[in-house]
Amino acid sequence: MEIDKTESRIPLHKLEKQILGVLREKDGLNFADIGAKAQIKVDQVRRAIEWLKTKGLVDEQRINESIIELLEAGKSASRNGLPERRLLNFLRERGGKAELTEISSKVLSSDETSAAIGISRTSKWIEVRKENGHAFVHLKGEPLATPEEELISTLSSPRRLATLTNKERMAYSSLAKRPGFILEVASKEVKIKLSKEGQSILIEEGSGINVTAPPPIIYSGRKHPLQIFMDEVKEIFVSLGFEEIVGPLVQSAFWNFDALFTPQDHPAREIQDTFYLRDSTIASPASPDLLDTVASVHQNGGATGSRGWGYKWNKDLTSRVVMRTHTTAVTVKYLADKTPEEARVFSVGRVFRNEKVTFKNLVEFHQIEGITVGSRVTLRDIMGLLSKFYERLGLKRVKFWPSFFPYTEPSLQSMVYNEKLSKWVELCGMGIFRPEVTRPLGVKNPVLAWGGGLERLVMLRYGLDDVRYLYENDLEWLRSVPLCP
């Protein structure tokens, strides 16, 4: 499956956009510089850089750097001047000449004095001469600001060594030789650079972000396609005047089979077709009266006019507990409970069959099922109803075919043409409930009944050719299923 290109589009926070805007003007800035340019707090810069990093839009470069800063003597020099400058100033105030002992006692400390004298002599700013056994210092010339003085004046806050000019570098190395003036500290500088990706999302012109870039696809939570379809099916039946009924997944064999006139030796009842709950029984699945009536209907037709199945009905088999094999168990229980003269009800639910799982069979699946009860209903009515239902689902080519179920007479099967597979697909079973089913329950009017698998319809809707796919939770597919096909 092709990966959607727009998936790489990255949503950006306002702060991130601001920072990208700054980096586009000047790449490779540190946090403080970015903060200053974007006018946001360094803390916020830091946070937004983290986001940008995880999105792969910027890279962090850690550079080992030397920072230079003033030590005590350096700080005092920046306030009062270097010792040599103070020496020269003093000499000038004294008319160009002073005794050495006076200098070292009044103006400078003895360390400062020897340094100041040494430097000033080699620079030829002074001369030291002996007069009457006393050493006198004579001023010969005063320099304008020296490189050392200039450097010190720029060091009110620490500077990166790398930013020093050549001249400053020389001043730095001479100052570094003098103890207590200057300190070099190793520091790690972090610089933020746009990554390739970062560069590419900034457009060439204009000052902003590429506003024409497609937005990211947001996968919000949504219902499973099967659930969406189930809701749609319910909607259709409700709109056709039906009411929903529900019943338990676990049933007695009585309601799943016997009440539906399914003979006790019917293959569907075999263990390989039906899931029985081990060691469970339901003591009285129905009233003793109903059990007796159903017994006689199975054996000889009872009062229904039928001849029944002609076997000895075994009451014990009715108490066995099964996972319902069809929703018809819900339908027939509804008829027994309500004995309606008229009704339109439907149910949608899970059913279980002990079958081999294949591309078209599951052991657990869903059925839709319904009945119409009324004095004047005919087989044509269900055909019309189901045609309508399929039409609402967009299935236009429908045909009906004779079929067989133990509980309906006549019985039909509906088929729908699958355009994609170019073949007819069986969908619902239907028919009119036999008197053997309705009479014992006390239902007098004809009951039109129909029911069938839901997954088959879902497969037609989404063009699937394997029913197992519906339960695979393939996220790619789940996300791509259109909400309005």
Q: Does 349 interact with ligand PHE (rule: CB under 6 A)?
A: no
Each residue 356-385 as x (binds ligand PHE by CB under 6 A) or -, in order, gives: -------------x----------------
Which span sits near ligand PHE by CB under 6 A: 90-98, 216-224, 414-422, 447-455?
447-455
Smallest distance, Å, CB 328 to ligand PHE?
A: 4
State the burial class of residue 240 (Cβ atoms within 10 Å of its Cβ: 0-12, 13-18, 19+): middle
Task: Return left, alpha or beta for 47; rule: phi > 0 is left, psi -120 to 50 is alpha, else beta.
Answer: alpha
3-state SS assignment for residue 450: strand
Smallest distance, Å, CB 430 to ligand PHE?
A: 5
CA distance 443 to 234: 26
CB 365 within 8 A of CB 457: no
Residue 15 vs 430, nearer CB to ligand PHE = 430
Q: Does 348 interact with ligand PHE (rule: CB under 6 A)?
A: no
Q: Does 413 interact with ligand PHE (rule: CB under 6 A)?
A: no
The 8-class DSSP code of residue 405 comes to B
Q: Does 328 interact with ligand PHE (rule: CB under 6 A)?
A: yes
The number of beta carbons lying within 10 Å of the beta carbon of residue 204 is 5
CA distance 265 to 390: 35
Q: Does 451 interact with ligand PHE (rule: CB under 6 A)?
A: yes
Q: Does 313 interact with ligand PHE (rule: CB under 6 A)?
A: no
Residue 168 vs 369, nearer CB to ligand PHE = 369
Report which secondary-structure segment, H or E, holds 123.
none
Q: Return the structure tokens found at 452.
A: 């069938």
Which span sits near ligand PHE by CB under 6 A: 8-16, 80-88, 125-133, 448-456?
448-456
Each residue 35-74 as x (binds ligand PHE by CB under 6 A) or -, in order, gives: ----------------------------------------
DSSP track, 300-339: H-GGGT-----S---HHHHTEEEE-SSTHHHHHHHHHHH-
Task: Name the residue with tokens 């839901």.
Answer: 454
CB 473 within 8 A of CB 385: no
Residue 23 vs 368, nearer CB to ligand PHE = 368
CA distance 11 to 13: 7
Query: Which residue in the set 113, 262, 318, 408 belongs to the binding site for ligand PHE (CB under 6 A)?
Result: 408
Residue 293 vs 347, nearer CB to ligand PHE = 347
Query: Which residue in the set 15, 449, 464, 470 belongs to the binding site for ligand PHE (CB under 6 A)?
Result: 449
Task: Name the residue with tokens 């030590």.
Answer: 71
Residue 58, beta-bridge partner list: 194
Which span sits near ligand PHE by CB under 6 A: 178-186, 250-258, 311-319, 423-431?
423-431
Smallest distance, Å, CB 352 to ligand PHE?
A: 11
Q: Does 405 interact with ligand PHE (rule: CB under 6 A)?
A: yes
Each residue 117-146 as x (binds ligand PHE by CB under 6 A) or -, in order, gives: ------------------------------
CA distance 34 to 27: 10
Q: Does 293 interact with ligand PHE (rule: CB under 6 A)?
A: no
Q: Does 431 interact with ligand PHE (rule: CB under 6 A)?
A: yes
Residue 108 vs 348, nearer CB to ligand PHE = 348
Q: Does 435 interact with ligand PHE (rule: CB under 6 A)?
A: no
Cα torsion through 421, 422, 423, 427, rounded to 10:
60
Query: Which residue in the set 35, 83, 198, 429 belongs to the binding site for ligand PHE (CB under 6 A)?
Result: 429
Which span sits near ligand PHE by CB under 6 A: 23-31, 140-148, 333-341, 450-458?
450-458
CA-wise closest residue to 454 among 334, 354, 370: 370
Q: Return the structure tokens found at 276.
A: 């029985």
Measured between alpha carbons, how far is residue 193 from residues 18, 41, 52, 203 in Å?
Answer: 14, 19, 11, 16
Q: Does 450 interact with ligand PHE (rule: CB under 6 A)?
A: yes
Residue 142 vs 273, nearer CB to ligand PHE = 273
Going 54 to 58 to 60 to 61, the CA torsion angle's sign is positive
Smallest distance, Å, CB 451 to ligand PHE?
A: 3
CA distance 479 to 314: 52
Smallest distance, Å, CB 485 to ligand PHE?
A: 26
Q: What distance, in Å, lies between the first and last C-alpha atoms of the chain? A: 20
Smallest distance, Å, CB 219 to ligand PHE?
A: 36
Which span sits near ligand PHE by CB under 6 A: 2-10, 198-206, 208-216, 446-454?
446-454
Query: Which residue in the set 320, 324, 326, 439 belongs to the binding site for ligand PHE (CB under 6 A)?
Result: 326
Omega cis (within 30) before 410: yes
3-state SS assignment for residue 460: helix
Count of residues interacting with ligand PHE (CB under 6 A): 12
Residue 40 vs 297, nearer CB to ligand PHE = 297
Q: Return the structure tokens found at 247.
A: 């019943």
Which span sits near ligand PHE by CB under 6 A: 196-204, 206-214, 443-451, 477-485?
443-451
The 8-class DSSP code of residue 204 comes to S
The number of beta carbons lying within 10 Å of the beta carbon of residue 273 is 13
The 8-class DSSP code of residue 241 comes to T
- List contacts with ligand PHE (CB under 6 A): 326, 328, 369, 405, 408, 429-431, 449-452
